[in-house]
């Protein structure tokens, strides 16, 4: 597990080294995910999978402003990033191709209500599995591991989490990151999106931004002259796929689909097309939790 985590960090760090210009633009994703034929036939009547496969429609919530994970350029229909690739694999198993998925922007704070209200069928949005969240939504996975770090302006006197006491640090409301940085003694300031928070760092309005290393490294890669990620990871974030708790059959379906993708090389291909774009070694995919 530890080796996996280090490999993932190294992969994300390599985004910086491999960066030239806009990391989101380089991140094209894959376009040949194999879509299941006659998908509905494989599911039992009365299951949510059968309904989705028969309707040929699925709504997937992803981030739109996180290069490497969930990123959507204006005028482009299908976003890109590792979260999106995992969403494509799940949709394909339902017989739905990427262009027919309704990709809906989710921010950290609306992931649970979007799942509860049916605004989206699945959330794949740098969505850490936590006990609190599992009280209100289903979370299958994890499909990826990362950890919380800090993004600062180059030359900042903040070099790691031990330096944040009493300093203004931004993050996003509804994230694990905001609560965790408050616990470290920072003056935490919550924004709606990480791109807004990043702008606060660039303007010098706050001393640092904090969230998952995978997200921060994407921003640093976009702006390597001004921004850098500092310090060691100080949490473990395990990204899961959110689904509505009233449809518990979705858990086995998601886990089986992800497991197959791990075994047949689709997971590795997805990683290589997104966070691993710099050519760094692809990590071992994480072991998944049992379904409830
Ligand atoms: N992974 C953390 C979370 O789920 C932080 C990233 C985010 O806000 O999307 O809260």
pLDDT in the model for residue 12: 46
How confident is the model at residue 120, as a pLDDT? 98
Which pLDDT score is estimated for 36? 81
Q: Show the low-confidence residues of the chain (pLDDT under 50).
A: 1-28
Sheet holding 102-105, edge to edge: 102-105, 59-62, 122-123, 237-243, 138-146
Q: Given ligand 1 and candidates 110, 126, 210, 240, which is best to mutate, with the most ligand atoms within 8 Å of its CB?
A: 126
The answer for residues whose C-beta is within 8 angstroms of residue 31's C-beta and 6 or more apart is 98
**Ligand 1 cavity residues, CB under 6 Å:** 108, 125-128, 172, 175-177, 211-212, 237
Nearest CA to ligand 1 atom 9: 126
Amino acid 10: pLDDT: 43
Please, are residues 143 and 286 in contact by the beta-carbon 8 Å criterion? yes
Report the alpha-carbon distance of residue 172 to residue 175 in Å, rounded. 6
Q: Which of 141, 149, 176 most suits a substitution to test ligand 1, by most atoms within 8 Å of the C-beta?
A: 176
């Amino acid at each position: 597990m530890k080796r996996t985590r280090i490999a993932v960090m190294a992969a994300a760090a390599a985004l910086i080294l491999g960066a030239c210009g806009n990391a989101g633009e380089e991140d094209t994703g894959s376009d040949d995910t194999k879509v299941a034929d006659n998908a509905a036939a494989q599911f039992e009547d009365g299951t949510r999978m059968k309904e989705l496969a028969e309707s040929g429609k699925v709504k997937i919530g992803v981030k739109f402003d996180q290069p490497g994970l969930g990123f959507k350029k204006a005028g482009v229909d299908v976003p890109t990033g590792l979260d999106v690739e995992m969403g494509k694999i799940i949709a394909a198993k339902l017989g739905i191709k990427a262009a027919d998925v309704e990709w809906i922007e989710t921010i950290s704070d609306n992931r649970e209500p979007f799942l509860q209200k049916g605004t989206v069928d699945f959330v794949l949005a740098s969505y850490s599995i936590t006990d609190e969240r599992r009280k209100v939504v289903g979370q299958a996975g994890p499909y990826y591991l990362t950890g919380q770090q800090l993004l600062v302006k180059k030359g900042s006197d903040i070099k790691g989490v031990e330096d944040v006491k009493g300093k203004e640090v931004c993050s996003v409301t509804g994230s694990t990151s905001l609560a965790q940085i408050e616990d470290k003694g920072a003056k935490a300031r919550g924004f709606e999106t990480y791109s807004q928070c990043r702008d606060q760092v660039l303007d010098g309005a706050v001393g640092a931004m904090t969230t998952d290393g995978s997200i921060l490294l994407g921003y640093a890669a976009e702006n390597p002259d001004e921004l850098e990620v500092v310090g060691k990871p100080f949490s473990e974030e395990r990204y899961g796929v959110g689904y509505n708790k009233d449809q518990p059959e979705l858990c086995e379906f998601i886990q089986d689909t992800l497991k197959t993708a791990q075994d047949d090389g689709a997971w590795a291909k997805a990683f290589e097309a997104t966070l691993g774009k710099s050519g760094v070694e692809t990590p071992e995919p994480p072991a998944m939790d049992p379904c409830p």
